[in-house]
Structure 1
């Protein structure tokens, strides 16, 4: 087993990346091995970026900030690596910067083991030439086989062209259709007169479950639309949770769509209070999936800022938003991205003269040193994502505070949830 395998397993467990850890590590490894000299080439990149002191000769690199990692690899390369790993750019930079020292150690140990591994000796083989008469017969036989094979291929090609073009095209079209329909899809539009549902699910049982739940919620006369059954469609990961929360989604004006694992909520026609309430329901139900269109009190406060607001008013509005992370991990949850996009837009509008500290706080579970490091990673993750969304680097300063400044009782989960927070502070 490769030394990378336990490293990937540890990354998946302790950073909350799950199955995504393997692809991320593979992208990093491919980048390092693509450099002239491999690890030594990476060390030269540190030197070129003015960060040679972070990777001294004969030692692994120190832990980096996401901004330092970006300086080393370059912005264009960072964006491409994040794309290949299927991560947001800022999040990829944070995780890669944290993993790099351990990954370098693994690669150097693998190289050392390969250098001392014994090379199996090759046993020379004695080949006896066949008699001249046998060689001539063999060559003539091989030539006839090649000619016969070519004639068969030509005949088959002519047959396909003249006899079965329609069938061939139909097969290609069927394959393409199957590929297009692999993702389960469902759209719900709630109206004053009821609900309209349309989509494609893999089985009749799935179709009936959705239809029965809607009939129970709205009644026979108020449910319209059509759900098609397609056995080529993958099983939806969201179906059970959707059926469980349907009673909480009876808000005329709401449009909710599922495509594969992605969830999009159109809440623009709801009153602001209902936007937040429905968003909270959707976060609890689908926060583990890529979900967009959600609101929170921070987005509402940012939308209500007066045109001529000052930096303290901006910070107050930003602090009403909630940024969520995977459990004990610096990985941002997908349901936080709408909040960060709205925050980035408001910060960019304030101008490059603004300076904000992005402070991260944790609960008290775990060791204090680990929590301090986790809080710094989370602050850097938020800063990296805001920078990726267009906020100038000079505006943001990440700082982790660990568990030292609680605002609620850590003995209760509700208190611990309040203590896990991002706080924006205006700097002079």
Structure 2
């Protein structure tokens, strides 16, 4: 077993990344190995960025901030690596910066182990005193067997191709076409006269479940549209939850569109109070999916800022927003991205003189040290994502406060949820 496997398992557990930890570590390892000289090439990158003291010779690098990793790797390369790992750029930068020292240590220990193995293997496999002529005969025999095997395989392959039925090519094309249309889709548009539903689901049973649920809610005469059946379509992960929350999603003007495992909510035609309420319903039901179009009090407050507002008014509006993370992890939840996009736009419009501290606070579950570290990682994740959305680096400072400044009772889940927060503070 590779030394990287325990490292990946530990990353998955303690960073809350689950199965995605393997892909992230593999992307980092491939990047380091692609550099001239491998680890030494990475050390040279540190020196070129003016950060040689962060990676002293003979030692793993010191712990980095996400912004420091971006200086070393380069913005374009960081974005490309994040895309390969299927992570948001900001989140990738935070996790990669945190993992790099331990990963370098593991890679160097694995390289040292690999360097020592060839001599051991050669010693174990060294042949006994066998006459040279006998060894030569054995090698020639093995070579002839190998050649004969290759010729037999090649002959069989040619025979199969020449006798393939005429429909094989068409069948392959049909399979490829089916594979291009595997995503389940469903669109619901609610109006004053009823609901229109359209999409593609894998089975008649799924189609009937959706149709019957809508008929039960709106009445047969007020349900229109068409749901196609396609057995090549994957089973939707969201269908059961959608049927559960349908009674709460009856506001005229609401439009929901599921595509694969993603959800887009069009709430622009709803009153502002209903936008927030529907968004909360969708977050609770589909927080495990990438969601766009959601609102929260912060996004509403930002949209209501006067044309001429000061930095304190901006910070107050930003602080009404809610940024959510995976449990005990610095990973930003997908349902927080609309809030961050609105925040980034407002901060960019404030001009180059604005400086904000992005403070992160946790609840009291876990140790004080682990919560302090987690809060710093979360603050850095928010800063990295805002920078990825166009906010200048000079405008933001990340700071983690851990569990030291609660605003509610940590003995209650509702209190712990309030204590897990991001706070924007204007800096002089």
TM-score, with length taken from structure 1: 0.91
User: What is the match of residue 29 of structure 2?
Assistant: 29
CA distance in 2: counterparts of 1:220 and 1:293, whole angstroms: 29
Other-structure match for 1:58: 58
Please show how residues 157-168 of structure 1 align to structure 2 within 5 Å: 164=166, 167=167
Residues matched between the structures, number: 412
Residue 121 of structure 2 is matched in structure 1 by 119
Aligned to 2:196: 196
For residue 367 of structure 1, what is the aligned residue in structure 2? 367
1:104-143 equivalences under 5 Å are 104-117=104-117, 118-120=120-122, 121=125, 123=127, 125-127=135-137
For residue 272 of structure 2, what is the aligned residue in structure 1? Answer: 272
Cα-to-partner distance string for 1:373-422 (whole Å, 9 max, x where unaligned) = 11110000000000000000000000111111111110000000000000
With 186-195 and 383-392 compared, the bigger mean Cα shift is at 186-195
Per the alignment, do residues 223 and 95 of structure 1 end up closer, same or farther by CA in structure 2, a change over 3 Å counting? same
Change (3 A) 1:36 1:128: closer
* Change in 2 beyond 3 A, CA 1:380/1:168: same
- Aligned counterpart, 1:73: 73
Shift of 1:180: 2.2
Question: CA 1:354–1:146 in 2, change beyond 3 Å: closer, same or farther?
Answer: closer
| CA–CA distance in structure 2, aligned partners of residues 105 and 145 of structure 1 | 48
Q: Structure 2 CA distance, aligned partners of 1:332 and 1:307?
A: 30
1:171-210 aligned at under 5 Å gives the runs 171-210=171-210
Counting only pairs closer than 5 Å after superposition, residues 7-406 of structure 1 correspond to structure 2 as 7-117=7-117, 118-120=120-122, 121=125, 123=127, 125-127=135-137, 156=162, 164=166, 167=167, 170-406=170-406
Cα distance in 2 for partners of 1:206, 1:300 equals 36
Q: Tell me by how many angstroms 1:170 deviates.
A: 3.9
Give the C-alpha shift of residue 36 in structure 1.
Answer: 1.5
Instruction: Report the CA distance between 1:282 and its aligned residue.
Output: 0.4
1:180-239, Cα deviation, whole Å (9 max, x unpaired): 221111111111111111111112222222122112111111111121221111111111
User: Where has structure 1 moved over 6 Å in runs of 4 or more?
Assistant: 144-154
- DSSP 3-state at the match of 2:351: coil
Aligned-residue offset at 1:26: 0.4
Q: Rate the CA distance shift 1:153–1:10 in 2: closer, same or farther, 3 A.
A: closer
Rounded to whole Å, the distance in 2 between the matches of 1:46 and 1:297 is 42
Tell me the CA shift for residue 101 of structure 1: 1.0
Give the root-mean-square deviation of aligned CA atoms.
Answer: 2.5
Whole-Å separation in 1 of the counterparts to 2:419 and 2:171 = 58
Partner of 2:420: 420
Give the unaligned 5+ runs of structure 1: none
Mapped to 1, the partners of 2:6 and 2:213 lie a distance apart of: 45
Name the SS of the counterpart of 1:119 in structure 2: helix
Instruction: State the TM-score, normalizing by the size of structure 2.
Output: 0.91
Q: C-alpha separation between the residues in 2 aligned to 1:177 and 1:374?
A: 45
Q: Give me the whole-angstrom Cα distance separating, in 2, the residues matched to 1:14 and 1:128.
A: 54
1:312-332, Cα deviation, whole Å (9 max, x unpaired):
111111001000000010000
